[in-house]
């Protein structure tokens, strides 16, 4: 080491880090031989934490502020270094600046479709992608588990591992949500919060905090999307007969505007008639199928005739069916003023009011024989 290098290492007494990048997570302050002057000034800005490492061991962690590196504010480092030269000699330590700001717009996405259960489609394969945000929550764990001795650690070095972590847990967390696939598009924000809560504990193992996961798109297989498009198109047309009429009228109007001949117009009219006939036939088939009984269904029960009670000599008799009533009227057992009653009648009523047609068909009584 040259003389000027040694002098520069001894008398540089300002330690700070101004980050002009957007992806640096940890930066190691470079010192000549890692020597730091006793009484040096340490500046830790907002969204930063300074970590002192002595002989490979984390010695002190300092939050935002300005520090004078002396024994009063470095108790752990003091006990490790012993400063037996009148507390004025340099000491050796590595200073890591850890950025605690949010790192945003980190990408994630499923490499292969994920099979999930759905209340409407039973089983379906999904693809999803979006972005997520993280920040360093525990600098000590992050340095020990992820950074190691890397002097300039960026998001690129950990993004791949975090993406794999998301994908490995995404299917499990997705399976716990019961939202139908067709409703997910309208609930991306709610679903993103649900995924964030389920995924956050796994990031804590790395000393990181997952602050937000954003869902940009959840897509179905191409064949399923085509089937949904066909189903949606059919639902939009509404009444098939009215839709065919509208299409035919539009075609005839366009033909007239373009100067189409009478033969062409007649052909369109014939086509429109065939379309209407097909629509009516399809509608009739649907109605017939809906009203026709199943071949295997048993016939309905025969209708039951109404039964009547008859008052004879102040006593209730019966019930009698219509055929028996008609026979008793014909044999004069039931007279016109005989009282009868059946279910649904307000009270006992004269027979001639209930069975007027039967009495009109009954011959009058025979006249008495002439006296001789």
- Token couple for 267: 């052909």
Q: Do 90 and 168 fall within a single domain?
A: no
Does 215 lie in the same domain as 110?
yes
Domain end call among 223, 254, 269: 223
Report yes or no on 196 lying in a domain.
yes
> Is residue 265 one of the residues assigned to a domain?
no
CATH number at residue 146: 3.30.479.30
Q: If you count them, how many residues does the chain have?
A: 372
Q: Looking at residue 1, what is its pLDDT? A: 45
Structure tokens at 62: 């300092």
Number of domains in the chain: 3
Q: Are residues 46 and 108 in the same domain?
A: no
Tokens coding 43: 């500046």
Which pLDDT score, from 0 to 100, does residue 342 have? 86
Task: Please report how many Cα atoms fall inside a 13 Å half-sphere around the Cα of residue 96, on the Cβ side.
Answer: 28
| Mean pLDDT value across residues 111-129 | 78
Contact 178, 187 (CB under 8 A): no
Which residue, of 181, 202, 223, is where some domain finishes? 223
Residue 234 within a domain: no
Q: How many alpha carbons lie under 13 Å from residue 169 in its C-beta half-sphere? A: 16
* Global confidence as pTM: 0.55
Is residue 288 assigned to a domain?
A: no
User: Residue 195 is part of which domain span?
Assistant: 103-223
Task: List the Cα angle 25/30/36 in 5-degree steps.
Answer: 120
Has residue 346 been placed in a domain?
Answer: yes
pLDDT at residue number 363:
62
Mean pLDDT over the full length of the chain: 76
Rounded CA-CA distance 16/32 in Å is: 15
Q: pLDDT > 70: what percent of the chain?
A: 67
SS3 246: helix
Asked whether the predicted pLDDT for residue 3 surpasses 50, the reply is no
For 12-142, where are the alpha helices, taking DSSP H only? Answer: 75-81, 139-142
159 shares its domain with 190: yes
């Amino acid at each position: 080491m040259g003389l000027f290098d040694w002098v520069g290492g001894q008398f540089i007494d300002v330690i700070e880090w101004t980050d002009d990048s957007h992806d640096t997570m940890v930066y190691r302050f470079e010192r000549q031989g890692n020597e730091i002057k006793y009484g040096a000034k340490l500046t830790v800005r907002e969204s930063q934490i300074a970590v002192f490492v002595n002989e490979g061991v984390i010695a002190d962690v300092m939050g935002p502020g300005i520090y004078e590196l002396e024994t009063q504010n470095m108790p752990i480092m003091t006990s490790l270094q012993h400063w037996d030269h009148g507390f004025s000699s340099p000491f050796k330590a590595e200073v890591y600046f850890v950025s605690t700001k949010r790192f945003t717009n980190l990408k994630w996405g499923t490499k292969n479709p994920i099979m999930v259960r759905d209340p409407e489609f039973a089983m379906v394969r999904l693809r999803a992608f979006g972005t997520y945000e993280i920040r360093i929550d525990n600098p000590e764990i992050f340095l020990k588990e992820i950074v190691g001795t890397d002097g300039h650690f960026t998001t690129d070095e950990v993004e791949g591992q975090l993406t794999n972590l998301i994908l490995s847990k995404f299917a499990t967390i997705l399976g716990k949500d019961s939202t139908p696939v067709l409703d997910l598009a309208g609930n991306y924000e709610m679903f993103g919060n649900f995924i964030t809560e389920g995924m956050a504990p796994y990031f804590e193992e790395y000393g990181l905090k997952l602050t937000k996961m954003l869902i940009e798109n959840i897509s179905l297989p191409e064949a399923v999307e085509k089937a949904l498009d066909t189903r949606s198109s059919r639902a939009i047309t509404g009444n098939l007969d009215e839709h065919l009429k509208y299409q035919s009228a539009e075609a005839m109007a366009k033909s007239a505007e373009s100067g189409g001949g009478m033969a062409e117009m007649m052909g369109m009219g014939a086509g429109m008639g065939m379309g209407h006939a097909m629509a009516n036939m399809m509608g009739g088939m649907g109605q017939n199928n809906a009203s026709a009984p199943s071949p295997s269904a048993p016939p309905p029960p025969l209708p039951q005739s109404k039964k009547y009670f008859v008052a004879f000599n102040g006593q209730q008799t019966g019930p009698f069916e219509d055929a028996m009533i008609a026979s008793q009227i014909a044999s004069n057992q039931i007279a016109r003023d005989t009282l009868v009653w059946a279910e649904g009648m307000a009270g006992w009523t004269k027979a001639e009011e209930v069975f007027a047609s039967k009495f009109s068909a009954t011959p009058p009584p025979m006249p008495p024989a002439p006296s001789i």
